[in-house]
């Protein structure tokens, strides 16, 4: 059984093996129980983690911040919005300046694809990708798959439909990689202008614009947000037309298997990607995704920065339920 | 009110059975060419038999097609019906009457109405108007962008849900290549092709005739062939990029034809059409300064016309389409530069292009396919063939008729035809759509009357 991660940083789902993912899930499950008992697990006591958010974030930033505090560490948060690569130099300056505060690791989000990868080559501290342009968002994918595995026990043989703006979605890319790693089948559905030209390159099994034909196959539907901020030209006629042809409505959801789950990484445009009744209904995992974000990120940070401590913690607190080891 | 012909076309059980007797049935989709009787009932082709083998008990009505050709019903992919908003030029009722008289079972109407057909509500308005007043099938082409402005995508999904079968900003080319790319990708998701009026409008720069030594001589602003060639090349590049089908409207230049030829050789989903006027007239016609010779793209050089005829004969240009563009008197009776672009086409299209068949410039099979199977395939129709079981959309054509086009012949609301006074070779003598006789030439009416 794997007890640690091979890489010092988490930049991509490709950094992880299937066993490493299951190790993170076991850790997240254990930490989740502590989290829900409002306990602090001081695996990173005395450490300082620098959060660099060059792009807006609510959920991810607060989730990391909570995870850091629950691990007993301090946080140093830098937020700025930048939309262009032309600030590459100030990006480097920023990380060098923050290095001077001697943080133990960086958690970075940036709007320009591959900028997080770039920064990783400029620092020798561990770096956690919290959203890299349209490339990857590995911690989101891990918490999504963790949430599904809690429900299903295993993702092997399950079909996950990713619905919406696939083209601009780092969430879709990281999720596809991870879901495939865990043995699931991945389908894409969205407007032709928001589908990748070669979905197989990303690992997807199929892509279509015909939502009604794919819904019956799905064990879970992951709705994605229409990301207008990543679109420099119109890709759809209107949000109304999107909602009509690609929104997950109650009517359309009747085509789903009765036990299919609905996910959304947030923030939800209610009535566009998913109807309010479904978002708040019994099939929705949207809030569980948010709450699972904290123990998942605690697991990642602890695994990267104090693997020995995490192993001892896991030995000392055997899982009471939801054992997902295989 | 009596039900409209279109209502009958859509409800074939209310139509009477009919036999078209003794005609030469030619159908390239089946490789059929010979004398046959065609039995039609419940809106569909029920049987095709050697003459005399269909008992008159099976059908109360007859069309005597002896000496005539019995062809799949003609489909005009490119028509401006002008409704809503420009009813002074044409209406769905008058335009489809002209269509039926020209041998067309079906037309596809362009989106440049007022308001523009860029939303489901306008699409459904056109559909309902057609249901009430049309004498031909009306296939609807929606806009690519809102208001034909080339900026925001039109409500493509909504229009397709209301029945739109293709998309085009005809006459107002989408100049932003990124928007065109998005449109192609988005439209592909809804299974509809984009039809491009391919002219770089910046380069056209107000040109009103083909740019050439003639335009200089006449002192009229020229529209260079390059404007068309550039946008045809762009549409092909975007087709290669997006793998989405694109159809080039009214191709008119030799070089643009070569672009299409190479794209087809590369296996890209590109199709193209030629209009009867671009196949028949050269820029020399403009010497008269008659505004009925003004169109977009403009009439081109003799070399271009020859290249276009060759492209049709080889199937590089697959589809024939009129670009029927009715305009009121005030739109055309003005200085050349201010006159509206375009001419009537529906009642002259078949004879003018038939003339090229007679001259041996276009093979008969290509001529038939160009008006039938090819546009049917582009729009995803089950018509365009005389296969037993197919909808009975049929054109009976008299290749021997010689007649002079008079104003009184034109059923369109407008009169802007440069072919008035021309002697034409061949004419549709009967047109059917869904088994409904939508046009019958006077001399045939007697034989059609019920025999009881």
pLDDT in tens, B336-392: 999 999 999 999 999 999 999 999 999 999 999 999 999 999 999 999 999 999 999
Encoded tokens for B279: 């196949």
* Alpha-carbon B126 to chain mean position: 18
Encoded tokens for A281: 């209904």
The reply to whether A203 and A279 lie within a common domain is yes
Helices (H), B162-301: 177-189, 201-204, 213-218, 225-242, 254-265, 276-280
E strands, B315-433, where?
A: 319-320, 394-404, 423-433
The span from the CA of A88 to the CA of B123, in Å, is 49
Model confidence over B127-149: pLDDT tens digits? 999 999 999 999 999 999 999 99
Does residue A196 belong to the interface with chain B, where contact is any CB pair within 8 Å? no
What pLDDT does A103 receive? 96
Average pLDDT over residues B294-319: 98
Number of domains in chain A: 2
pLDDT at A81 over 70: no
The span from the CA of B134 to the CA of B132, in Å, is 6
The span from the CA of A266 to the CA of A60, in Å, is 10
Q: How far is A87 from chain B (nearest CA, A)?
A: 26
pLDDT at A324 over 50: no
DSSP state for residue B260 in the 8-state scheme: H
The reply to whether A130 and A148 lie within a common domain is no
CA dihedral defined by A228, A234, A239, A242, rounded to 10 degrees? -110
With beta carbons less than 8 A apart as the criterion, state whether B320 and B370 touch.
yes
Does residue A238 belong to the interface with chain B, where contact is any CB pair within 8 Å? yes
Which residues on B lie below 8 Å from A237 (Cβ)? Answer: 146, 152-158, 186
Q: Which residues contact B142 (CB under 8 A, 6 or more apart)?
A: B111, B117, B118, B123, B154, B156, B159, B160, B164, B166, B167, B168, B192
The span from the CA of A95 to the CA of A91, in Å, is 6
Model confidence over B412-449: pLDDT tens digits? 999 999 999 999 999 999 999 999 999 999 888 877 76
Which pLDDT band holds residue A322 (cuts at 50, 70, 90)?
very low
Query: How far is residue A324 from each of residues A54, A147, B408, measured CA to CA in Å?
Result: 35, 11, 84
Model confidence over B219-262: pLDDT tens digits? 999 999 999 999 999 999 999 999 999 999 999 999 999 999 99
Which pLDDT band holds residue B7 (cuts at 50, 70, 90)?
confident
Whether a cis peptide bond, with omega within 30° of 0, leads into A231 is no
Contact A237 B182 (CB under 8 A): no
For B240, nearest residue in chain A (alpha carbons): A197
**Residue A105 falls inside a structural domain:** yes
Residue A24 main-chain phi, psi, to 5 deg: -65, -40
- Whole-model pTM over 0.80: yes
Average pLDDT over residues A148-177: 97
The reply to whether A84 and A226 lie within a common domain is no
The span from the CA of A193 to the CA of B189, in Å, is 8
The span from the CA of A191 to the CA of A161, in Å, is 14
What pLDDT does A320 receive? 52
Contact B179 A236 (CB under 8 A): no
Does residue A237 belong to the interface with chain B, where contact is any CB pair within 8 Å? yes
The reply to whether A158 and A247 lie within a common domain is yes
Average pLDDT over residues B180-185: 97
Nearest to A241 among B158, B185, B244 (CB): B158
**Residue A4 falls inside a structural domain:** no
Contact B157 A237 (CB under 8 A): yes
The span from the CA of B357 to the CA of A290, in Å, is 71
CATH of the domain at A20: 3.40.50.1370
Q: Which residues contact A156 (CB under 8 A, 6 or more apart)?
A: A182, A183, A184
**Residue A1 falls inside a structural domain:** no
Encoded tokens for A218: 């799905």
What pLDDT does A82 receive? 52
With beta carbons less than 8 A apart as the criterion, state whether A129 and A116 touch.
yes
Pairing of strands B394-404, B423-433: antiparallel
**Residue A7 falls inside a structural domain:** no
pLDDT at A121 over 50: yes
What pLDDT does A4 receive? 87
Which pLDDT band holds residue A298 (cuts at 50, 70, 90)?
very high
Residue A212 main-chain phi, psi, to 5 deg: -65, -25
3-class secondary structure, B273: strand
Mean pLDDT, all residues of chain B: 96
Encoded tokens for A268: 């939800």
Give the residue with greater pLDDT, B323 vs A122. Answer: B323
Q: How far is B201 from chain A (nearest CA, A)?
A: 21
DSSP state for residue A86 in the 8-state scheme: G
pLDDT at A230 over 80: no
Residues found in chain A? 326
pLDDT at B3 over 80: no
End-to-end CA distance of chain A: give it in Å, rounded.
9
Does residue A197 belong to the interface with chain B, where contact is any CB pair within 8 Å? yes
Contact A234 B155 (CB under 8 A): no
pLDDT at B451 over 70: no
Pairing of strands B394-404, B69-72: antiparallel
What pLDDT does A85 receive? 44
With beta carbons less than 8 A apart as the criterion, state whether B434 and B15 touch.
yes
The reply to whether A144 and A284 lie within a common domain is yes
The reply to whether A220 and A303 lie within a common domain is no
Which residues on A lie below 8 Å from B177 (Cβ)? Answer: none
The reply to whether A121 and A256 lie within a common domain is no
The reply to whether A222 and A172 lie within a common domain is yes
What pLDDT does A83 receive? 44
Scored b (16 or more CB within 10 A) or e, B135-147 reads bbbbbbbbbbbbe
End-to-end CA distance of chain B: give it in Å, rounded.
27
With beta carbons less than 8 A apart as the criterion, state whether B320 and B376 touch.
no
pLDDT at A251 over 60: yes
Average pLDDT over residues B293-297: 97
The reply to whether A74 and A40 lie within a common domain is yes
Model confidence over A179-198: pLDDT tens digits? 999 999 999 999 999 999 99
With beta carbons less than 8 A apart as the criterion, state whether B126 and B141 touch.
no
What pLDDT does B449 receive? 67
Query: B145, B157, B183: best mutation site toward chain A, by most A Cβ within 10 Å?
Result: B157
The span from the CA of B142 to the CA of B114, in Å, is 13
Average pLDDT over residues A166-183: 96
**Residue A6 falls inside a structural domain:** no
The reply to whether A91 and A142 lie within a common domain is no
The span from the CA of A316 to the CA of B341, in Å, is 84
Contact B190 A234 (CB under 8 A): no
What pLDDT does A325 receive? 43
Nearest to B182 among A193, A238, A244 (CB): A193
Q: How far is A214 from chain B (nearest CA, A)?
A: 14
- As annotated, the active-site residues of A are 59-60, 87, 109, 137
What pLDDT does B2 receive? 55
Q: Which residues contact A303 (CB under 8 A, 6 or more apart)?
A: A4, A5, A23, A24, A27, A310
pLDDT at B114 over 70: yes
The reply to whether A41 and A126 lie within a common domain is yes
**Residue A190 falls inside a structural domain:** yes
The neighbouring-strand residues paired with B33 are B26
The reply to whether A73 and A118 lie within a common domain is yes
Q: What angle do CA B64, B324, B372 make, to 5 degrees?
A: 45
3-class secondary structure, B48: strand
**Residue A309 falls inside a structural domain:** yes
Contact B157 A197 (CB under 8 A): no
* Alpha-carbon A127 to chain mean position: 16
- Sheet-wide strand order for A185-189: A206-208, A185-189, A159-163, A220-223, A261-263
> Can you give the residue range of the structural domain that contains A85?
13-137+293-321
**Residue A316 falls inside a structural domain:** yes
Which residues of B make CB contacts under 8 Å with A? 146, 151-158, 176, 178-179, 182-183, 185-190, 242-244
Contact B186 A236 (CB under 8 A): yes
Tally Cβ neighbours within 10 Å of residue A297: 28
For B188, nearest residue in chain A (alpha carbons): A192
DSSP string, B264-331: HHTT-SEEEEE-HHHHH--GGGGGG--GGG--SSPP--HHHHHHHHHHHHHTSS-EE---B----HHH
Which residues on B lie below 8 Å from A209 (Cβ)? Answer: 188-190
DSSP state for residue A45 in the 8-state scheme: T
Model confidence over A6-30: pLDDT tens digits? 999 999 999 999 999 999 999 999 9
Nearest to B157 among A190, A197, A241 (CB): A241
Query: B178, B186, B242: best mutation site toward chain A, by most A Cβ within 10 Å?
Result: B186
């Amino acid at each position: 059984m794997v007890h640690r991660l091979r890489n010092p940083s988490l930049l991509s789902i490709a950094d992880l093996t299937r066993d490493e993912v299951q190790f993170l899930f076991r850790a997240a499950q254990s930490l989740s129980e502590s989290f829900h008992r409002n306990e602090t697990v001081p695996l990173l006591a005395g450490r300082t983690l620098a959060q660099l958010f060059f792009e807006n974030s609510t959920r991810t930033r607060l989730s990391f911040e909570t995870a850091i505090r629950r691990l007993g560490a301090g946080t140093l948060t830098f937020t700025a919005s930048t939309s262009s690569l032309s600030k590459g130099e100030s990006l480097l300056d920023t990380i060098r300046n923050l290095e001077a505060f001697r943080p133990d690791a960086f958690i970075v989000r940036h709007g320009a694809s591959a900028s997080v990868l770039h920064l990783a080559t400029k620092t020798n501290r561990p770096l956690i990708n919290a959203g890299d342009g349209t490339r990857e968002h590995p911690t989101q994918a891990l918490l999504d798959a963790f949430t599904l595995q809690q429900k299903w026990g295993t993702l092997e043989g399950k079909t996950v439909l990713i619905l919406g703006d696939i083209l601009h979605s780092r969430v879709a890319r990281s999720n596809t990689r991870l879901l495939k790693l865990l043995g699931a089948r991945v389908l894409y559905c969205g407007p032709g202008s928001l589908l990748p030209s070669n979905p197989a390159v990303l690992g997807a099994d199929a892509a279509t614009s015909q939502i009604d034909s794919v819904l019956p196959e799905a064990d879970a539907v992951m709705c994605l947000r229409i990301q207008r901020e990543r679109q420099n030209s119109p890709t759809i006629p209107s949000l109304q037309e999107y909602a009509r042809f690609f929104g997950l409505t109650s009517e359309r959801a009747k085509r789903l298997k009765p036990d299919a789950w609905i996910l959304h990484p947030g923030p939800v445009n209610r009535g566009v990607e998913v109807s309010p009744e479904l978002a708040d209904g019994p099939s929705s995992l949207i809030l569980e995704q948010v709450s699972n974000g904290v123990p998942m990120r605690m697991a990642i940070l602890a695994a990267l920065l104090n693997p020995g401590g995490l192993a001892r913690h896991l030995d000392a607190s055997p899982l009471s339920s939801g054992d997902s080891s295989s | 009110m009596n039900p409209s012909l279109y209502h009958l076309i859509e409800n074939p059980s209310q139509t009477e059975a009919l036999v078209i007797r003794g005609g030469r049935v030619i159908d390239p989709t089946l490789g059929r060419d010979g004398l046959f009787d065609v039995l039609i009932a419940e809106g569909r082709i029920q049987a095709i038999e050697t003459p005399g083998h269909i008992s008159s008990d099976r059908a109360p009505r007859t069309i005597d097609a002896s000496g005539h050709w019995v062809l799949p019903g003609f489909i005009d992919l490119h028509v401006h019906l002008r409704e809503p908003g420009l009813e002074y030029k044409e209406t769905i009722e008058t335009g489809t009457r002209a269509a039926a008289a020209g041998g067309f079972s079906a037309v596809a109407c362009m989106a440049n109405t007022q308001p523009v057909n860029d939303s489901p509500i306008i699409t459904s308005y056109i559909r309902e108007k057609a249901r009430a007043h049309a004498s031909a099938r009306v296939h609807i082409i929606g806009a690519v962008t809102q208001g034909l402005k080339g900026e925001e995508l039109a409500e493509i999904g909504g229009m397709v849900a209301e029945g739109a079968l293709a998309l085009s900003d005809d006459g107002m080319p989408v100049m932003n290549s990124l928007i065109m790319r998005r449109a192609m990708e988005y439209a592909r998701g809804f299974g509809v092709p984009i039809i491009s009026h391919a002219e770089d409008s910046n380069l056209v720069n107000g040109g009103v005739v083909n740019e050439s030594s003639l335009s200089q001589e006449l002192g009229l602003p020229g529209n260079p062939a390059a404007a068309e060639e550039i946008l045809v090349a762009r549409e092909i590049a975007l087709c290669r990029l997006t793998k989405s089908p694109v159809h080039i409207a009214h191709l008119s230049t030799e070089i643009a034809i070569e672009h299409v030829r190479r794209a087809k050789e590369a296996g890209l989903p590109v199709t193209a059409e030629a209009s009867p006027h671009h196949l028949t007239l050269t820029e020399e016609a403009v010497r008269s300064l008659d505004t009925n010779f003004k169109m977009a793209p403009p009439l081109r050089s003799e070399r271009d016309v020859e290249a276009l005829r060759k492209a049709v004969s080889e199937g590089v240009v697959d589809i024939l389409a009129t670009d029927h563009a009715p305009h009121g008197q005030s739109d055309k009776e003005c200085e050349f530069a201010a006159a509206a672009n375009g001419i009537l086409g529906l009642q002259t299209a078949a004879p003018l292009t038939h003339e090229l068949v007679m001259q041996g410039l276009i093979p008969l099979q290509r001529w038939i396919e160009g008006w039938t199977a090819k546009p049917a395939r582009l729009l995803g129709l089950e018509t365009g063939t005389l296969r037993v079981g197919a909808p009975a959309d049929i054109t009976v054509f008299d290749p021997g008729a010689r007649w002079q086009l008079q104003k009184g012949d034109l059923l369109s609301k407008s009169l802007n035809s440069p072919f008035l006074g021309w002697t034409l070779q061949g004419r549709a003598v009967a047109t059917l759509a869904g088994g409904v006789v939508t046009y019958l030439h006077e001399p045939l009416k007697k034989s059609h009357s019920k025999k009881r």
